Amino acid sequence: MIVTVQKPLNELLDFISPYGKILLAGCDGCTQPPRGLREANTLAQLLELGGKLRDKNFKFKTTTIAKQCDSHLTATMLKPQLEGIDAIMSLACGIGVQEIAQAFPEVPVFPAQNTVFFGAEERDKGAIEERCAGCGNCLLPLTGGICPIARCSKGLTSGACGGSKQGKCELSPEKDCAWVLIYNQLKKQGKLELLKQSRAPRDYQLTGWRVTT
Ligand code: SF4
Ligand code: SF4
């Protein structure tokens, strides 16, 4: 799932302050926590209230789309709703925001969320944790199925930094050290020799992917 965190209300109010009628577009896709119609309606209420405190009377229309990252669906679903709309605020991840911007270049589009990571729901911990950073060169076969890019605070690809204490990360003590997890996993699999390999750091040229569908 793609995990998002709502931007501060004041930042959202700053985005829309030059406009009067705003379409709030939710997304029913993989964004977590959910960002659909119910969340769009709640956000509309909060922004309306925040607007009044700034002597602004925004008008909001709310909608939702099955998945904003489907460019055809987004363009088709939103087009009939744009009559009289000055700006759009998307509750989707950054991908959805960009699809709207591409479909309607004449309408200003704003993100309601900060997109923070690709994660997994850890129900026993009551948390969603980062698992993948979309690096473009998956190392999981070499690291016992544990991602060093997303789960090591320094994104180290060739082993631990040496600062781990009692299995926790030196930078984020609430987190398990990814390289301790990798060591334990490789040990269970009888593959500790993989730790002797030196690997290049993450290659940031491997971004901007396009695959044919
Ligand atoms: S190495 Fe990590 S960040 Fe890269 S693709 Fe694999 S899981 Fe994702
Ligand atoms: S303590 Fe572990 S997780 Fe934290 S930066 Fe060092 S190697 Fe990475």
pLDDT, one tens digit per residue, over 138-171 is 999 999 999 999 999 999 999 999 999 999 999 9
Band (85; pLDDT cuts 50, 70, 90): very high
Superfamily of domain 2-116 in the CATH hierarchy: Response regulator (3.40.50.2300)
Rounded Cα distance, 140 and 158, in Å: 13
Give the pairing type, strands 87-90 and 21-27. Answer: parallel
Q: What is the pLDDT of residue 41?
A: 98
Tokens describing residue 91: 């509750």
Question: Which of 2, 146, 149 most suits a substitution to test ligand 1, by most atoms within 8 Å of the C-beta?
Answer: 149
Q: What is the pLDDT of residue 121?
A: 87
**d(CA 176, ligand 2 centre) in Å:** 8
Segments making up each domain of the chain, as ranges: 2-116, 137-196
**d(CA 145, ligand 1 centre) in Å:** 9
Q: What is the pLDDT of residue 32?
A: 85
With beta carbons less than 8 A apart as the criterion, state whether 99 and 33 touch: no
Contacts of 81 (CB under 8 A, 6+ apart): 23, 61, 63
Band (15; pLDDT cuts 50, 70, 90): very high
Average pLDDT over residues 40-64: 98
Short-list 150, 152, 143, 132, CA closest to 185: 143
